[in-house]
Amino acid sequence: MSRYRILPALLVLMGLISCSDEPVEEKKVVRSVPVIQVANQAQMDGRRFPGTAKATQEVNLSFRVGGPLITFPVSIGDRVKQGDILATIDPRDFEIELNNVQGKLDKAQANAKRAQADYYREINILRQDAGATSQAAVDRREDLRDQAKAEIKSLQAAVDAASDKLSYTNLKAPYDGVVVETIVENFETVLPRQEIVRLLDDSWIEMIVNIPENLISLVPNLQKILVRFDSFPDHVLEAEVKEIGTEASKTTRTYPVNLIMKQPEDITILPGMAGNVTGSRTRPESGGESEKPVIPIKAIFTPETEKQDHVWVIDEKTGIVQLRKVKTGQITQYGIQVLEGLKAGEWIAIAGVRTLSEGQQVRLKTTKQ
């Protein structure tokens, strides 16, 4: 009974709502747009980039042959010179093998000498008295001589291989360095290619830092690069650029830059130590091309109604998009140089540039730097 009373009331209420003249507000969607901030050389001065030290060279050493260890004189922390013996395998089996093949080679050389003499003698007999021998006999002697020479080559190769194996029983340091790990114990029987010891060259230290996409083109113009490690805050080391990565990380949009520096004498920088890098620029004449910003090529486009390059400049506070003409210069491995139309500090879109419109409001999407 009560259900029939409620139903008419609901129908009346729905009618009132449907007759309302007020429009329903549509929710405005603000699109996220990948952006970078335009930079110039001055923005590199004094900026700090974190990094971690690593050794220039680090290798796990192993024998090319197997056998029982008889000497293993190094321990963790020992410093060694290039050519120092780090471990030795019992060489007796390899010495026996070398002696055996060397004996076979000596015998083959004697046989070859006799075969050569027999060949010459057979030729002389044929020349002096054709009836005393035949050309077939000469040919047989020649074949025997050639077989003896071939056997010498084969045995010489075997001697060389056996000699190499004997030399491989000594594991030598390929460069000056420090032993950072011993993987086996003395008197163990080791296999070929089994890791024995890890050697690290700490005479030079490297550090990889990640430089943002908008600053990477400025790195080659740095005049001085200084590194300060957290463990030694009072020491400042001067570094050089060893290598600049040519591909940016897809997630952070940063390029890896590999720095290298000499190990200082008064402290020891170990792999894994954290630090910070700062750089100072060269100071060319005002307006020099090295002062001009470099931006990603994908940020540049030419609208259908225009003939000149443009970019989208975005107001950092309001997110409003504005079309801007630019004059471009050289293309580098990091992007394209902008000679006119942009200034440091401005934000530009670097993706979806053909889908934006003048006055559109967007949300700036930046990457970690």
Q: What is the pLDDT of residues 248-301, one digit of tens each?
A: 888 888 889 999 999 998 898 988 999 999 987 655 444 455 567 888 889 999
H or E element that contains 175: none
Write out the residue range of the structural domain in which residue 279 sits: 41-56+201-290
Same domain, 282 and 214: yes
Asked whether residue 4 is assigned to any structural domain, the reply reads: no
Same domain, 173 and 161: no
Same domain, 85 and 100: no
Rounded average pLDDT over 320-333? 89
Per-residue confidence (pLDDT) for residue 286, from 0 to 100: 44
Is residue 27 over pLDDT 90?
no
Q: Which of 167-171, 340-344, 352-356 has the highest mean pLDDT?
A: 167-171
Same domain, 331 and 219: no
Same domain, 207 and 182: no
Asked whether residue 270 is assigned to any structural domain, the reply reads: yes
Per-residue confidence (pLDDT) for residue 293, from 0 to 100: 82
Asked whether residue 26 is assigned to any structural domain, the reply reads: no
Number of domains in the chain: 4
Q: What is the DSSP letter of 220?
A: G
- CATH number for the domain spanning 212: value is 2.40.30.170
The confidence band for 14, taking pLDDT boundaries of 50, 70 and 90, is: low
Same domain, 107 and 77: no
The confidence band for 90, taking pLDDT boundaries of 50, 70 and 90, is: very high
Per-residue confidence (pLDDT) for residue 26, from 0 to 100: 56
Per-residue confidence (pLDDT) for residue 335, from 0 to 100: 83
The confidence band for 10, taking pLDDT boundaries of 50, 70 and 90, is: low
Asked whether residue 24 is assigned to any structural domain, the reply reads: no
Domain boundary among 181, 198, 215: 198
Same domain, 314 and 338: yes
Mean pLDDT rounded to a whole number for the chain: 86
Same domain, 217 and 282: yes
Is residue 186 over pLDDT 70?
yes
Domain boundary among 179, 198, 217: 198
Asked whether residue 321 is assigned to any structural domain, the reply reads: yes
- CATH number for the domain spanning 178: value is 2.40.50.100
Asked whether residue 144 is assigned to any structural domain, the reply reads: yes
Quote the tokens at residue 108: 């083959």
Same domain, 75 and 194: yes
Per-residue confidence (pLDDT) for residue 146, from 0 to 100: 93
Could you tell me the end-to-end alpha-carbon distance of the chain, in angstroms, rounded to an integer?
70
Q: Which residues contact 227 (CB under 8 A, 6 or more apart)?
A: 51, 207, 236, 237, 238, 239, 259, 261, 275, 276, 277
Per-residue confidence (pLDDT) for residue 369, from 0 to 100: 46
